[in-house]
Structure 1
Amino acid sequence: MDFNKKIYLLLGGGVFFLSLSGILIKIAVAPPLITAFYRMLFTVIILTPYFLTKHRHEFRYFLDYRPLLVGFLLAVHFILWISSIQYTAVSNSVIFVALQPLFTIILEYLFAREDLKEGAVIGIAMALIGSLIISIADFYQLQGRLFGNFLALTAALFASSYLFIGRGVRKKVAYFPYLYILYTYATIFLGIAVFTAKIPFTGYGSKNYLIFLGLAIGPTVIGHSILNYSVRYLSTSIVSLSILGEPILTTLMAWFFLKEKIILTTVIGGCFILGGIYLASVYNYQQQKKKAA
């Protein structure tokens, strides 16, 4: 097997590990704050030896206010997204949180004076139609799902916000130390939230702690590491668009392992959303290439 095929297979493996996130969160029997906190805490513990060995000189960036702000936004993103899975179907949650690239395009238009051309507008419109299809169906079938859909949608907004605000720091700091600093601050903020909410830090049973560890190792450490590695050999657009496979895989796994029904309106709305994200992302990438040329 040649190297190019191996990279694509590796990228597919990364998307698979990312897709496990929603399933593991769904089967955890713990408050969303606890699940988010331990996912980040175990991630930081796993990454600390490498950071101390290879990137000790990057400690100074802990004093930069921007990673602190981005860590706060990441913490809120995890709280909202993990909470959404408690209220709505896993498929709905991952589809709505996948809207993050579209929010990023909108933020770039509003705050970075990036052009919002026809291709991006059509993609955003398609995603909006898909969101309405899913939400209207949930209103008539199970109104409680609307709140979960809203949480996932808001989680996507916070995800795009932390990526947008963190762009300036990422230009100065290598990817790994940046993520480590970001995860560390997110862990601190999540710990403060758990303490403030007076939720016990312990007493959740070995099964839950194994799930928390699985979230740290699988989707966070392995999944994101593979995506970061793949960017070295594949175009950013290919890696970014491959992530659209995550909601599809998660939906199929939720159907197979959790016996969640795949509702027709979720399929139709999901196709609109993912198609809109694909169209807008490809168009946005092409515009960036033209500017760089």
Structure 2
Amino acid sequence: MDSKKKIYILLTIGLFFLSLAGILIKLAEAPPLITAFYRMLFSVLILTPFFLLKYRSKIRYFLDYRPVVVGFLLAIHFILWISSIQYTDISNSVIFVALQPLFTIILEYFFAREDLQKGAVIGIIMAVLGSVIISIGDFYQLGDKLFGNFLALSAAFFAAAYLFIGRGVRKKLDYFPYLYILYSYATVFLGIGAYLFKIPFTGYGVKNYFIFLALALGPTLVGHSILNYSVRFLSTSVVSLFVLGEPIITTTLAWLLLKEEVMLTTILGGVFILGGIYLASVYNYHQQQKDKKLQGVKN
């Protein structure tokens, strides 16, 4: 088996672990803030020995204000997404969160002055239509599912924001220390949030703590680690497009394991959204390649 096939197999494994997040969150019987806090806390505790052994010199980056901001945005993302699963179907939640690449393209257009290509515009329009289709299907539950859909959509925006703002820090830091510092600040903010809202940190039972640990080990450490390892061998765009399979896997698992019914409007809207993200990402990638070639000619 050649190395590229091995990377694709590894990427598939990582994608599977990522797709377990929605299922595990649905099974947890704890406030969203607590679920997010322990997911991050356990991740940080597991990573701490490796950070201290290999990257102790990078500890000065804890004093940089940008990881603080990015950690805060990541904490908000987790709170919104985990909360959304309490109000809407898992399928709806993961599909709306998948809109993150489109929000990234829009942020790049407004704040990084990067051109918005025709294909990206069509992709965004398709995604908006898909969102409307899903919301129409949920209209009969106006105060419930629509609110959950809005939370998931907001979570996608904050995911795009923390990735967009974090780009400057990532240029200075290796991926691992950056991730460790980011997770540490997210944990701190989630802990502060739980304290301010007077949510107890204990008393959730062994089952829930195992779920929190599973979230840290599976989707967070294994899933995200494989994704970022794959970027060394495959283009970022290929990995990003591969991740579009996450809503499909999560929805299938929710149907098989949790007997969660998938509405026709969710399937139809999901096709529009994922198709729009695919189209926008592909056009965005091709434009970036053209820009690199033009830059090379100028130099």
Alignment TM class, shorter chain as reference: over 0.9
Report what 2:296 is aligned to: none
Deviations 1:238-260 (A, max 9, x none): 11111100000000000000000
Report what 2:297 is aligned to: none
Residues 1:28 and 2:28 aligned together: yes
- Partner letter of residue 212 of structure 1? F
- Partner letter of residue 80 of structure 1? L
Matches of 1:140 and 1:284, distance apart in 2: 37
- Partner letter of residue 175 of structure 2? Y
| SS of aligned partner of 2:260 | coil
CA RMSD of aligned residues (A): 0.7
Report what 2:239 is aligned to: 239
- Partner letter of residue 117 of structure 2? K
Q: How does 1:97-136 map to 2 (within 5 A)?
A: 97-136=97-136
Report what 1:262 is aligned to: 262
What is the CA-CA distance between 1:117 and the residue it aligns to?
1.4
Identity %: 75
Structure 2 unmatched runs, 5+: 294-299
| SS of aligned partner of 1:104 | helix
What is the CA-CA distance between 1:3 and the residue it aligns to?
1.6
Deviations 1:210-239 (A, max 9, x none): 000000000000001101111111111111
Q: How does 1:152-163 map to 2 (within 5 A)?
A: 152-163=152-163
What is the CA-CA distance between 1:143 and the residue it aligns to?
4.3
- Partner letter of residue 264 of structure 2? L
Structure 1 unmatched runs, 5+: none
Q: How does 1:1-293 map to 2 (within 5 A)?
A: 1-141=1-141, 143-293=143-293
**TM-score normalized by structure 1?**
0.99
- Partner letter of residue 56 of structure 2? R
**TM-score normalized by structure 2?**
0.97
Matches of 1:290 and 1:3, distance apart in 2: 28
Matches of 1:275 and 1:8, distance apart in 2: 21
What is the CA-CA distance between 1:2 and the residue it aligns to?
2.0
- Partner letter of residue 54 of structure 1? K
| SS of aligned partner of 2:114 | coil
Matches of 2:140 and 2:213, distance apart in 1: 37
Matches of 2:244 and 2:104, distance apart in 1: 15
| SS of aligned partner of 2:261 | coil
| More displaced stretch, 251-260 vs 2-11 | 2-11
Matches of 2:116 and 2:232, distance apart in 1: 28
Matches of 1:53 and 1:28, distance apart in 2: 33
| SS of aligned partner of 2:138 | helix
Matches of 2:208 and 2:134, distance apart in 1: 31
| SS of aligned partner of 1:171 | helix
- Partner letter of residue 137 of structure 1? G
- Partner letter of residue 174 of structure 2? A
Matches of 1:120 and 1:114, distance apart in 2: 12
What is the CA-CA distance between 1:142 and the residue it aligns to?
5.7
What is the CA-CA distance between 1:82 and the residue it aligns to?
0.2
| SS of aligned partner of 1:228 | helix
Matches of 1:143 and 1:70, distance apart in 2: 31
Matches of 2:161 and 2:217, distance apart in 1: 25
Matches of 2:41 and 2:129, distance apart in 1: 38
- Partner letter of residue 78 of structure 1? F
